[in-house]
A and B are shown apart, each in its own frame.
Chain A
């Protein structure tokens, strides 16, 4: 490409208050030909209103089946520096916490081997190193290994699991999301790095029902912190919120989905009918100084969440209402393994766990993974008479 070729369309995206990705590409382009060609190929997409990347090929590093996404320009003669422009998915530390020292090491490795462009972070949670030629992949990984960064998942494997900030900085966290994430990521390294399943499998961990990592929508296994006893109330702090102008009747009691709260404005006392509480988090979110989750903490396990491909989007379904979540997390790991085994045995190519449960029935799933049916699993019992009996039960 010509050194002085212009990007009038993309230049318009350098204006305005929101951070500009175009500015970032241009910064990398000062020293990297690949970033320069990326910029100009993108300008071409803006002119043509179509993407210019070809279908990925199989590329990778030794010992791994996933973690690298192949990407090739469909205009390699015009933009030779992005003819091969592969992505490395690098497993982030739990909770996306970093020291500047660690990030600088990562930047040095990526400047040495790649485009100098990254996503912090990709949709699944990995650090995305965006764009390197095939020959740079192995040397780049070798240097990543030196500084202690391993690859994440891709293809039909366990994708890089992620979690919320958890006990690192959130008083709502009912489980140690960071420790659990690190622990299961280390436990399932083989499943993460060597695609062996019918399709992708995602695990996401949230410390409470606010679900800051969207586990219920975006993961086959959603692990969401909760509690089994009563919300802890500090009545003095409740009174303080009222004193500072909060309309407790309207903002807290009136929005409780179970109608299980009462506010006595005279005596400034809030009461909660504990049997009615469904632990939705609204009142705690609204008055974090006054209300806290109970002390008997654990997680609800839900499965089956996914985006539309292939048969439609699903939200995860409750399969274990409450599980204690303490190291070494054997009960959870055992359950995940049982479920993977059933899915691996019965799933068709590109059939996610939720789709398989839909095809074979929740009844078959529960039996196969040995979980008891419970009313917490459903919104309502069936309204049709089309149900089955095992002949063994009809005697």
Chain B
């Protein structure tokens, strides 16, 4: 077995290119040279060019070796990834920037994701590797980004737009503060398999895992019952207990949320809000989802002021205008009825038609 434990990750200092070691903490300013290309200038006058490319997040070791080859040719073997699954080539020799870009284009890499663009969507595993998904993740992201590719490759939006996808309410992708969140949801309560519950589950923990108190003990069966009127299909019980499956081809699908942000620039961070409660799963390319996302992006791009994020635009025009401008039908599911729901109700007759 391994001779040691708890030795920790590789030290980042051993990973940094010489230009960063020399100018660490001494960067003066940056600018976007063109979409996908950043220039950082240090107090010393040194320049570091970054060429950003999108990745599908799920990559093979062959792909990693490919990008290592490129980094060795142009970047002294140095590269990094971003918090949104982008790959960044770190180029300290200005003369190498254009040849690198030419090679990346020739080999079909997606250059972009900087400035007022749609960056790489943060997303989860979906049907590829998760046991609780209500939809796939990589397939929808691929379809959405194929469709919106022009907004990744160019910086032509009013502000940047963060799209994220989580394949269930567990939200491993923590999509709840995105300009546009694509969230897989279930719509049917769990089907209790009493034999599995008896054999494999800690009953008090399953009961405690339910946010709405819908699960009660069934002492006779030494199992559980679900009050289906109270269940809102979060799947937390299934995470605790494999005897409570709720995935279903008809029940499962996509919801769309908009207007969240993380940055504190201008306005504080905020949650995304539900605007489309359900779109059925339609693999392999989910056309109803790509249409919905494009409609929201382009309506925002048409009406927003420069620097105005999705949520800031909606603040200015009002939610009622968001629905009239996008043409998205308003349905009862959009009205909150969870804890503290009334904070979202309007208390003034001053609103728009």
- State the A residues within 8 Å of B (CB): 9-10, 12-13, 15-22, 24-25, 27-28, 35, 38, 42, 45-46, 48-56, 61-64, 71, 85, 87, 91-104, 106-107, 110-111, 116-125, 130-131, 138, 141-142, 145, 148-150, 162, 164-165, 167-171, 173, 176, 178, 181-182, 185-186, 189-190, 193, 209-214, 216-218, 250-251, 255, 257, 280-282, 285-286, 288-289, 292, 307-313, 315, 348-350
- Known contacts: A21-B142, A214-B174. The answer to whether A118 contacts B61 by CB under 8 A is yes
B187-237, CB < 8 A from A: 205, 208-209, 211, 234, 236
Return the contact of A119 from the options B58, B68, B240 (Cβ within 8 A).
Answer: B58
Q: Does A19 contact B266, Cβ atoms closer than 8 Å?
A: no
The answer to whether A21 touches B85, judged by C-beta atoms less than 8 angstroms apart, is no
A46 touching B40, Cβ below 8 Å: no
Total chain B interface residues with beta-carbon distance under 8 A? 118
In the bound assembly, the distance between CA atoms of A314 and B276 in angstroms comes to: 21
Q: List, in ascending order, chain B residues with CB within 8 A of A217's CB.
A: 174, 176-177, 260, 262, 269
B277 CB within 8 Å of chain A: no
In the complex, the answer to whether B83 meets A164 with C-beta atoms within 8 Å is yes
B55 in the interface (beta carbon within 8 A): yes
Q: In the complex the two chains form, is B283's CB within 8 Å of A49's CB? A: yes
Could you jot down 11 A-B contacts, CB within 8 Å?
Answer: A19-B109, A20-B142, A24-B59, A28-B60, A46-B136, A71-B131, A102-B15, A116-B62, A125-B83, A150-B5, A193-B6
Whether B284 is near chain A, meaning CB under 8 Å from some CB there, is yes
Given known pairs A117-B58, A190-B6, the reply for A99 and B127 (CB within 8 Å) is no
A-B contacts counted at CB < 8 A amount to 354
Q: Is B274 an interface residue (CB 8 A)?
A: no
Q: Mark B298-338, 1 if CB is under 8 A from A, else 0.
A: 00000000110000000000000000000000000000001
In the complex, are the beta carbons of B9 and A150 less than 8 A apart? yes
| Chain B residues, Cβ within 8 Å of A124 | 172
Contacts of A123 in B (CB 8 A): 122-124, 172-174
B2 touches A145 (CB 8 A): yes
Which residue of chain A lies nearest to B244 when distances are taken between CB atoms in the complex? Answer: A55
A386 to chain B minimum Cβ distance, whole angstroms, is 15
A307 near B24 with CB under 8 A, answer no
Cβ of A311: which chain B residues have Cβ within 8 Å of it?
A: 211, 339
Is there a chain A Cβ closer than 8 Å to B143's Cβ? Answer: yes
Minimum CB distance partner of A144 in chain B: B2
Residues of A within 8 A of B271 (CB): 313, 315
A340 to B170, CA, bound (A): 23
Question: Are B27 and A282 closer than 8 Å at their CB atoms?
Answer: no
Closest Cβ of chain B to A9, distance in Å, is 4
Which chain B residues border A50 with CB–CB below 8 Å? 127, 247-249, 252
Cβ B236 vs Cβ A55 within 8 A: no
Asked, given contacts A125-B83, A169-B50, A310-B211, whether A17 binds B110 with beta carbons under 8 Å apart, the answer is: yes
Q: Are A162 and B83 in contact (CB under 8 A)?
A: yes
Question: Which residue of B10, B77, B130, B177 is within 8 Å of A100 (Cβ)?
Answer: B77
Contact A53–B209 (Cβ < 8 Å): no
- What is the 8 Å Cβ interface bit string for chain B, positions 261-295, against chain A (1 contact, 0 not)? 01111110111000000000101110000000000
A21 and B269: CB pair below 8 A? no
Contact, CB under 8 Å: B284 / A12 = yes
Alpha-carbon gap, A142 to B122, bound state (A): 31
Q: Tell whether, in the assembled complex, residue A25 and residue B78 are in contact, meaning their CB atoms are under 8 Å apart.
A: no
Complex Cα–Cα for A96 and B52 (A): 14
**Which residues from chain B sit less than 8 Å from chain A, CB to CB?**
1-12, 14-16, 20, 24-25, 27-31, 40, 48, 50, 54-65, 68-69, 71-72, 77-83, 85, 87, 90, 109-110, 122-133, 136, 138-139, 141-143, 145-146, 149, 152-153, 166, 169-174, 176-177, 205, 208-209, 211, 234, 236, 238-240, 242, 247-249, 252, 260, 262-267, 269-271, 281, 283-285, 306-307, 338-339
Kindly identify which residue among B138, B234, B266 contacts A21, using a CB–CB cutoff of 8 Å. Answer: B138
What are the residues of chain B within 8 A of A91 when measuring CB–CB?
8-9
CB contact under 8 A between A130 and B81, given known A210-B265, A281-B265, A310-B209? no
Q: Which of B30, B83, B141, B248 has the most CB of A within 10 A?
A: B83
List the B side residues contacting A218 at CB < 8 Å. 174
Taken together as a complex, chains A and B put the C-alpha atoms of A92 and B110 apart, in Å, by 24
Interface centre among B9, B27, B69, B72 (most CB of A within 10 A): B9
Given A119-B57, A149-B9, A182-B11; A97-B262 close (CB under 8 Å): no
Q: How far is the CA of A66 from the CA of B20 in the complex (A)?
A: 34
List 9 extra interface pairs beyond A21-B139, A120-B55, A312-B339, CB under 8 A.
A49-B281, A93-B9, A96-B82, A100-B77, A118-B59, A123-B172, A162-B83, A282-B265, A310-B236
Residue of B nearest to A160 (CB): B9
Q: Report yes or no: A185 in contact with B8, Cβ–Cβ below 8 A.
A: yes
Given contacts A162-B83, A217-B174, contact A209 B264 (CB under 8 A): yes
Minimum distance in angstroms from A192 CB to a CB of chain B: 8
Query: Given contacts A141-B2, A171-B30, A209-B263, are A100 and B71 in contact (CB under 8 A)?
Result: yes
Report whether A16 and B146 are in contact in the complex, using a CB–CB cutoff of 8 Å: yes
Contact B307 A282 (CB under 8 A): yes
Q: How far is the CA of A97 from the CA of B132 in the complex (A)?
A: 32
Select which of A38, A51, A61, A100 is within 8 A of B68 by beta carbon.
A100
**Do the beta carbons of B131 and A56 come within 8 Å of each other?**
yes
The smallest C-beta distance from B51 to any residue of chain A, in angstroms, reads 13
Q: For the complex, what is the distance from the CA of A271 to the CA of B63, rounded to whole Å?
A: 50
Residues of A within 8 A of B169 (CB): 308-309
Structural contact, B265 and A9, CB atoms closer than 8 A: no
What's the nearest-Cβ distance from chain B to residue A34, in Å?
12
Q: Find out whether the CB atom of B61 lies under 8 angstroms from the CB atom of A150.
A: no
Q: For A8, give the chain B residue with the smallest CB separation.
A: B284
